[in-house]
Amino acid sequence: LFEPSSSAPNRLTVELGPRSYEIEVVSGLVREFGPFARRALERSWTGSSCRRALIVTDSNLADLSIPAPYQAALESVGIAAETAVVPPGEPSKSLAQVERLYDQLAARGADRHTLLVALGGGVVGDLAGFVAATFTRGLPLIMVPTSLLAQVDSSVGGKVGINHRSAKNLIGAFYQPLGVWIDTESLVTLPDREFRAGLAEVVKYGVIAIEPFFSFLEQNAGTILARSPQALEKVIFGSCGIKAHVVARDEREEGDLRATLNFGHTIAHAIETVAGYDGPFRHGEAVAIGMVAESRLAERLGWITSDVTDRLVRLLEGFGLPVKAPGLDLPSLKHAMSRDKKNRLGKIRFVLPRWIGQVELTDSPGEDDVQAILETL
Ligand code: GLY
């Protein structure tokens, strides 16, 4: 397991040379966010010249007055912050919302030393991150993810972007933040379904990288579901530690390593495309179903025995996640998979388990294998 070091018990570093940054995990310490942001800025190229910030958030969080203490925390370190509110949900990852945020930045005379804070779930992080990557060719960016999914996945690693009408996340950039601030308290009020969906990505980390992390999840499922702050900190440290390790070695997915974060996602993306992004499955739920299907695919190739998949199914079901998606149109699923970003030379590539703790990117499955697995969805 990735444990924090004793000298900095709440921190992990994403090691990227001059673009390295810290992930800090706290439980209810918003006022400390100001000094965290100041330190992150001072370590970066912007130095000590930041005086202004724009906090991008969604209307659900704004209605709960979540941005106010972050604004106050920034003001306590000499950064005057304003808030920009976008509608909640996937449709906000659009050029129209990007343009609105550009307009707000321009109207406020933002320059390259204006800090952008992405306060929200994955949609806000991806959208605000994209604006940060492009406005004046790069604003300092700090991620404050508030959903479990964003805390363990999308806020770390620098993938930012928006959707195109033909595909999700088609337009984007690799743009690393200066820091990631994670407060487990924001999970207390997260709707149950959203919390469980985030756990699918957590389970994924166990399968792709560290068997003891998977065992930890099995042994502590009850306290995790009860959202005990200690259990949540371990879940977040474990997940972010694995993600940071992968991103540090293959930042721009140029090798095969970062692609391993896509275990379960080839089929998950196809399910989301066919069922609709605002359809019956949340992203994490589609990932749970996709991981089980891809594990069965590994069984077909003789890579693993069925007890591996059974163990995965037990853990996912214990977290209340679906493991099946019956009734989807097979040709549409196959068509969606043929457009996966991981594909090479016309072949669909999958990330499949060798055992719990090790996966491999492969194009070995034949059409009949894929067909057989989709029939079991
Ligand atoms: N969510 C996959 C990645 O960040 O590469």
Q: What share of the chain is helix, strand, coil (3-state, %, to 5)?
A: 50, 20, 30
Say whether 137 is catalytic. yes
Residue-averaged pLDDT of the chain: 95
For 128-147, what is each residue's pLDDT tens digit?
A: 999 999 999 999 999 999 99
Task: Give me Rg for the CA atoms of the chain.
Answer: 20
Q: Please give the pLDDT value at position 5.
A: 60
Say whether 201 is catalytic. yes
Q: Please give the pLDDT value at position 157.
A: 97
Q: Find residue 55's DSSP bridge partners.
A: 83, 117
For 264-274, what is each residue's pLDDT tens digit?
A: 999 999 999 99
Whether 153 lines ligand 1, by a CB cut-off of 6 Å, is yes
Give the other-Cβ count within 10 Å of 96's Cβ: 9
Question: b/e string for 315-343 if b means 16 or more Cβ within 10 A?
Answer: bbebbbbbbebeebeeeebbebbeebebe
Looking at residue 246, the DSSP 8-state letter turns out to be H
Give the mean model confidence (pLDDT) for residues 312-336. Answer: 96
CA of 301 to the centre of ligand 1 (A): 25
State pTM to two decimals. Answer: 0.95
Report residue 341 as tokens: 């970003």
Q: Please give the pLDDT value at position 137.
A: 96
Whether 261 lines ligand 1, by a CB cut-off of 6 Å, is yes
Atom from ligand 1 closest to the CA of residue 246: 5
Pocket test for ligand 1, best of 239, 243, 263, 283 (most atoms within 8 A of CB): 243
Report residue 292 as tokens: 């089980």
For 348-375, what is each residue's pLDDT tens digit?
A: 999 999 999 999 999 999 999 999 999 9
Give the other-Cβ count within 10 Å of 215's Cβ: 16
Residue 91 pLDDT greater than 60, yes or no: yes
Say whether 262 is catalytic. yes
Let me know if 49 is exposed, middle or buried by CB neighbors in 10 A (0-12, 13-18, 19+).
exposed
